[in-house]
Amino acid sequence: MELSGGRVLNSLPVRDPLGHKGDFGKVYCLCGSVGFTGAAVFASRAAVRMGSGLVYIGVPEGAWTVVAAKSDEAMAFPLPDTGEGKLALAAERAVRSAAAPCDAVLMGCGLGRSAETDELTRRLLDLEKPLVLDADGINALAGHIDALERRRDQITVLTPHEGEFARIGDLSAGREDSAAAFAARHGVYLILKGHRTVIAAPDGRLAVNPTGNSGMAKGGSGDVLSGMVLSLLGQGMETFAACCAAVYLHGLAGDLAAAEKTERAMTPTDLLETIPAALKELERRYPRRI
């Protein structure tokens, strides 16, 4: 199935005009490290842009001041780190406490790699929340893919590009068949990023995205997508619909940014700031929900 804008628009949750911030999802981003603070900021800002009522960021203490200074709407909190700006195992208790009241959790954007950070990521797979794994959250599964079995009864979304997917899966059957096989085998939803991004569900549903362009092939664009998926899950959307909507809107925002700034010159910040225009463009093209 190729995604369509009308179907995406119809799937988005209707905003309660009498709602308050607690009604629109509380989400938690376990992201960032020294040198990779932008990943946490992009993901959290994308969650805000997609309508989340409350967005929290857990970040290693060594990176906290930078992330906090860049975060206006999202709330950043420092966590124990290894002394090298990456999350330490000692952060586990604080992460569990912060995630407990949230509706969905994102792990991995800009986390970096260390033995403790990877182990912490795998330990947190038992969080009883919809969970999005991106970047180093996925890399932590390399050689430990069996850890996903702990989430068989939970909602899990993985958002790898082909390089990350190659560390945990097999692309030899082609993008669509490989994504479908992985999702079914491990009981996860897989967003295989790239030209014509593939979205695969564990029950066999599969979609291909027609939006997006080469200007999005820049560090930070994937963090924006992960934050968008997180936000829609936190707002209670059905998982496959949330993945499809986030991917389509992410690509449409990229197309609008490229039309204004060119594919060469557009940045992930332009992409992030064009999410509202993408939502308005959908409403313009499909003025009545069907």
Is 17 a domain residue?
yes
pLDDT tens-digit readout, 40-55: 999 999 999 999 999 9
Q: What is the CA radius of gyration of the chain?
A: 18
pLDDT of 222-254, one tens digit each? 999 999 999 999 999 999 999 999 999 999 999
Predicted local distance difference test score (pLDDT) of residue 289: 53
The token duo for 78 is: 């420092």
- Total domain count, the chain: 1
- Residue located via tokens 């000692």: 90
Residue 131: inside a domain, yes or no? yes
Report the C-alpha gap between 131 and 78 in whole angstroms: 21
Q: Which two tokens stand for residue 43?
A: 């993901």
- 64-98 tens-digit pLDDT: 999 999 999 999 999 999 999 999 999 999 999 99
Task: Kindly give, in sequence order, each residue whose CB lies less than 8 Å from that of residue 79, ignoring residues fewer than 6 positions away.
Answer: 58, 59, 60, 61, 64, 87, 88, 91, 94, 95
Q: Which residues, in sequence order, are CB contacts of 145 under 8 Å at separation 6+?
A: 168, 186
Q: What angle do CA 128, 136, 103 make, to 5 degrees?
A: 25
Phi, psi of 137 (to 5 degrees): -65, -30
Task: Read off the CATH number of the domain in which 262 is found.
Answer: 3.40.1190.20
Give strand ranges (E) for the chain: 26-30, 54-60, 75-79, 104-107, 131-133, 156-158, 189-192, 198-200, 206-208
Output phi, psi for 79, to 5 deg: -130, 155
Beta carbons within 8 Å of 281's beta carbon, 6+ residues apart: 252, 256
Q: What is the mean pLDDT of residues 93-121?
A: 97
CA 246/CA 240 separation, integer angstroms: 10
Give the full edge-to-edge strand order of the sheet including 131-133. Answer: 75-79, 54-60, 26-30, 104-107, 131-133, 156-158, 189-192, 198-200, 206-208
- pLDDT number for residue 288: 59
Phi, psi (5° rounding) for residue 199? -115, 120
Rounded distance between C-alpha atoms, residue 29 and residue 124, angstroms: 13
Q: Is the pLDDT of residue 8 over 50?
A: yes
pLDDT tens for residues 119-169? 999 999 999 999 999 999 999 999 999 999 999 999 999 999 999 999 999
pLDDT at 287 over 90: no
Instruction: Average the pLDDT over 185-194 and give the result.
Output: 98
pLDDT score of 23 more than 60: yes
Residue 16 lies in a domain: yes
Mean pLDDT of the chain: 96
53: which DSSP letter?
S
Query: Is residue 215 assigned to a domain?
Result: yes
Q: Report if residue 18 sits inside a domain.
A: yes
d(CA 28, CA 102): 6
User: Is 108:121 a contact under the CB 8 Å cutoff?
Assistant: yes
User: Per the domain annotation, does 290 fall within a domain?
Assistant: no
Domain that holds residue 178: 5-285
55 torsion bin: left (phi>0), alpha (psi -120 to 50), beta (else) = beta
Q: Report yes or no on 181 lying in a domain.
A: yes
How sure is the predictor about 290, in pLDDT bands with cuts at 50, 70 and 90? Answer: very low
Residue 12 lies in a domain: yes
